[in-house]
Amino acid sequence: MPDGSSFDKLPERRGGRRSDGAGTPAFIPTQDQQHMVMVMRANGDSLPVIARAVRVSVSTLKRHFPLEIKNGFEDVKSRVQAAVVRSALSGNVAAQKFWLCRYVPEWRIARDSNRDNDTPDMPPAEAVNFYMPPNGRDVAEIDDQPPMIEGEIDC
């Protein structure tokens, strides 16, 4: 029966380290590694590929990066969306148009309906043909004699 003595608690084993100090050191993920796992997972990389990039085993990857593996795509998507909004609010017209087309259906419908009526009084565009002056590269060389190579003796 446990009585609260030191035998009740087992020592925590981490990283394969034995009691005498031998073995591999405990793995502690860095912020750069967490960011790399999140971005690689968001890009659709498989766990073995990510583990190779971080230089750990797949089991260590799963043990130390569960949130990055599970939420990588959503985290990257939300950060990119926030960057688009910041850029749009700071005056980037392309970001403004993108955001409006993506998230405001009324603006998208109005924009699509205006495409056909941008210039109603102008005739449709005609095809334009360009004629370039001859440069002599398209004419085959016709010579009576074969080309001479320097040092060749004519017999």
pTM of the complete model = 0.52
pLDDT level of residue 10 (50, 70, 90 thresholds): very low
Q: How far apart are CA 155 and CA 146, in angstroms?
A: 14
Q: Are 79 and 71 in contact (CB under 8 A)?
A: no
pLDDT digits (tens, 9 = 90+) for 89-111: 999 999 998 888 888 877 766 55
Residue 149: partners with Cβ closer than 8 Å, 6 or more residues away:
none
In this predicted model, what pLDDT tens digit does every residue of 41-69 receive, in sequence order?
999 999 999 999 999 999 999 999 999 99
Residue 12: is its pLDDT beyond 50? no
The pLDDT value recorded for residue 90 is: 94
What band does 13 get if pLDDT is binned at 50, 70 and 90? Answer: very low
**Closest alpha carbon to 84 in 76, 74, 92:** 92
Do 66 and 58 contact (CB within 8 A), yes or no? no
Please name which of 114, 82, 74, 113 lies closest in space to residue 99, comparing C-alpha atoms. 82
